Structure 1
Amino acid sequence: MGATTGDTTRDTNEGAVTTSSSSRLDSITGLRWFAAFAVFGYHLAANASFYEQRDALRFVFLAGSSAVSFFFILSGFVLTWQPQRTESKRVFWWRRFARIYPSHLVTFIAAAFMLRWLGDPLGTKVALTHLTLTQTWIPERSDYWWGFNGVSWSLSCEMFFYLCFPFLAPLIRRASNRALWAIMVTFIALVMAMPWLSDLGEPVGLGETYIVYILPLSRILEFVLGMALATLVRRGHWHGPGLIVSSLFTIFCLTVVVRLAPSSWPNIRVTTATVIAYTLLVAAAAVADVRRTRSLFRARWIVYLGEVSFAFYLVHLMVILSANELLRGHHKLPLAASFLAVFAVSLMFAMAVHEFVEKPFVKILHPSRISTYGEAFRARYRGPRGRGARRSIEDPPLPVVASVPAERDPAGLPG
């Protein structure tokens, strides 16, 4: 999560950009941090009341929740960008599990203790949906979606994407450029129209927020959009604006376009107003890294924050809710001091989760290590397969498992 981008070569027959297995998209890693920071600001404005000038913070981070759309597009992009592995679906799914579940489990346990402290314990059924990351499949039950560590609802969507990816990837990779463009245009149109299409759910009792924002079947449109985008960029058939123009357009959409949405239709802000901007930004960042053109987002400290952003995303809301419980009875605190204090504590916990949970468990749960553990277990307790005697108690001990270097996605975080 922070190494330099590997060498790239261009296939002269097809004009495709190919990358080595060590290729890095550091600008995308850096962009992850800004997206996570936007979510932090949005949640601080929405869930805390111990500071002054709350309306000012709401104004600045009005579109912060739309960053989840960026993450979903980026997830499909990063997984498709990686060199194709000859691995089974089971191994792919295990890699995804190893990347996100240990951190999720640790923050789930922390959230359970926090809720008990707040006097708001949740039931066993809600806990089971969070432990299995199935909470987004419970329609019209916000207590399930936002229960425990509320931000983990997006991981529930991601797990569905990961389940679908091995079936979708061959179709996307075999698709013609024209078909990929058709997929992108169609899916962008569907995402933008989803607030209006959600009316179709009313007869069966499904509300707009669930259909537009929560339902994995709706959010997978952004994931597949990212997959198609990555394939076009790799083939050299993407000719969108550069990183500076794309960044400015994204800022424009986040600060101007989202404010044009009527207050009665808040979900327009999280999808319709931003999906084009995020698509352009992801592609521009990837192209900048492939071509090694200048990019602010490749600064070393920004890349490191991008590496920590997954953990930051998981811990920040718990810090905000805890701070609100501790401080809301006091006089209003200055906005800047409150913001910096909560941010600093969130970042501190995020770095701890990243360094002591996320990174170690990627190594511990690496497929090759799991295979070695299995072989060791069989040899010790079942005996070798096929011919040969069982291990006797006098046999020398099995060799120590060698350490396995953590593999990392090109963008440095769980996709």
Structure 2
Amino acid sequence: MNEAGQRNRRIDLIRGVSILLVLFHHFNIAYHLNDTILAGTFGWNAVRAVARNGNYGVTMFFVISGFLITSNAGRRWAGLGSVDTRAFYARRVARIMPCLLLLLAIVNVAALAGLATFENHAPAGTSVSFWIVNLASLTFWMNVLIAAHGWVNYPLGVLWSLSVEEVFYLAFPLLCIVLRRESRLLAFWLVIAAIGPLYRFTHQSDEGGFLYAYFACFDGIAIGCCAAVLAKRFVLRGRWAVVLQGVVVAGMGYLYLYRPIGETNVLGVTAMALGTAVLLLAAYDRNDAPREKSAWYTPTAGIAWFGRRSYELYLFHLIVLGAIRTVRPPRVVMGDEKLLLLALFFVLSAILSAGVARFYSEPLNRKLRNWLNAV
């Protein structure tokens, strides 16, 4: 998004695909779709292949985040070496904290009301208090908590990825100031990208290590940062670029469907991140102007709509799914009723995220930025 608030619709489309994969993944975990007409038509193996690897959708989010943060910072401050640290952190606080605090308030109130889905649990056999869960959420080590104790709180578990992102961005402006030159930053991020698969390889016996750890995920953000720097130097346009994008999309689709992420994560996460980076390079506009509406875009407008609200969707979709699970527990739902709940889940998640964005997070984002910049 540029300074005028315009959006790149192709990037929103990529982001929309990512969030829809995550939503479908989480719904299938709660309500296995193996006994639905969907599984009967396409086969359970095919449905499961689409549903099981939602974490690759998060990998795509990481790349998009790194790409947009880096490209926007370079444009806003006329170069990465001139990043205003105070203003950078103010913008992150204004964007992240309103939704995070609202999510915590909802979950804490629901838990106090005795709704079991929103209470803390002990999947690893050790109990964790809400004080610790709230602290981990606010100080960005929910991924560490999950690695140690399991998915201790159902709707707050999504904050593991926010923890990864925000720890990366705590260092981002400081690195820009210290290293200054884009060539040095590029070299540093390439090192981080190389560490990712090595870290995942050495933690294959630990899901918390290869899925949720900082260095297991930093490579996706770093690859996005590198892509943003490269985007200023060359353009992916023309017929050959269209062919390249087709090959990349086919490769990403094959990787996504081929095996569970637990079997492919070492190089699979890197490959998915690199593929996303190529698509972002093709979508990037140096003038940051939205593309003209064209025939290819019209059928995908709905997906891009989800992409524009991906942050709110990601944070609040498990609130909706948790509420559905409270009213209709998975143990009592069978057959095609699951598909009705799936449709309800997507509709309610879309309504909630749009409402939060329009009436809460976006107005507060603007007000907080103005206030923090004025202090």
Task: Determine the C-alpha separation between the residues in 2 that align with 1:250 and 1:194.
Answer: 26
Structure 2 counterpart of 1:140: 147
Of 39, 60, 63, the match for 2:50:
60
Task: Tell which deviates more after alignment, 80-89 or 46-55.
Answer: 46-55
Structure 1 counterpart of 2:162: 155
Structure 1 counterpart of 2:361: 358
Of 95, 101, 126, the match for 1:99:
95
The structural deviation recorded for 1:105 is 1.4
Task: Determine the C-alpha separation between the residues in 2 that align with 1:276 and 1:289.
Answer: 23
Aligned partner letter, 1:90? R
Task: Tell which deviates more after alignment, 43-52 or 343-352.
Answer: 43-52
Q: 1:344 to 1:270 in 2, by over 3 A?
A: farther
Aligned partner letter, 1:32? R
Structure 2 SS opposite 1:279? helix
Structure 1 SS opposite 2:232? helix
- Judge conservation of contact 2:52–2:260 (CA < 8 Å) in 1: no
Q: 1:65 to 1:270 in 2, by over 3 A?
A: farther
Structure number with bigger Rg: 1
TM-score (normalised: structure 1): 0.71
- Judge conservation of contact 2:99–2:361 (CA < 8 Å) in 1: yes
Aligned partner letter, 1:219? C
Task: Determine the C-alpha separation between the residues in 1 that align with 2:34 and 2:116.
Answer: 20
Task: Determine the C-alpha separation between the residues in 2 that align with 1:365 and 1:295.
Answer: 39
Task: Determine the C-alpha separation between the residues in 2 that align with 1:209 and 1:343.
Answer: 28
Structure 2 counterpart of 1:16: none
Aligned partner letter, 1:89? T
Structure 2 counterpart of 1:203: none
The structural deviation recorded for 1:146 is 5.2
Structure 2 counterpart of 1:386: none
Task: Determine the C-alpha separation between the residues in 1 that align with 2:143 and 2:14.
Answer: 26
Q: 1:370 to 1:168 in 2, by over 3 A?
A: closer
The structural deviation recorded for 1:98 is 0.8
Of 99, 118, 128, the match for 2:116:
118
Aligned partner letter, 1:369? W
Q: 1:237 to 1:253 in 2, by over 3 A?
A: closer
Q: 1:75 to 1:172 in 2, by over 3 A?
A: farther
Structure 2 counterpart of 1:164: 171
Aligned partner letter, 2:326? E
Deviations 1:105-147 (A, max 9, x none): 1122222344431266231212221233322244732446755
- Judge conservation of contact 2:15–2:307 (CA < 8 Å) in 1: yes
The structural deviation recorded for 1:344 is 0.7
- The count of corresponding residues between Structure 1 and Structure 2 is 345
Structure 2 counterpart of 1:211: 209
Structure 1 alignment gaps of length 5 or more: 6-19, 200-206, 375-415
Structure 1 SS opposite 2:47? helix
Task: Tell which deviates more after alignment, 187-196 or 76-85.
Answer: 187-196
Aligned partner letter, 1:35? S
TM-score (normalised: structure 2): 0.77
* Residue 322 (structure 1) aligned with residue 323 (structure 2): yes
Structure 1 SS opposite 2:140? coil
- Judge conservation of contact 1:172–1:227 (CA < 8 Å) in 2: no
Deviations 1:313-350 (A, max 9, x none): 11112222322332232443345433212111111111
Alignment of 1:223-234 (within 5 A): 223-234=221-232
Structure 1 counterpart of 2:249: 250
Q: 1:288 to 1:84 in 2, by over 3 A?
A: closer
Task: Tell which deviates more after alignment, 88-97 or 116-125.
Answer: 116-125
Structure 2 counterpart of 1:202: none
The structural deviation recorded for 1:92 is 1.2
Q: 1:263 to 1:81 in 2, by over 3 A?
A: closer
- Judge conservation of contact 1:52–1:334 (CA < 8 Å) in 2: no
Structure 1 SS opposite 2:26? helix
* Residue 131 (structure 1) aligned with residue 138 (structure 2): yes
Q: 1:95 to 1:265 in 2, by over 3 A?
A: same
Task: Determine the C-alpha separation between the residues in 1 that align with 2:312 and 2:4.
Answer: 25
- Judge conservation of contact 1:108–1:148 (CA < 8 Å) in 2: no
The structural deviation recorded for 1:362 is 0.7
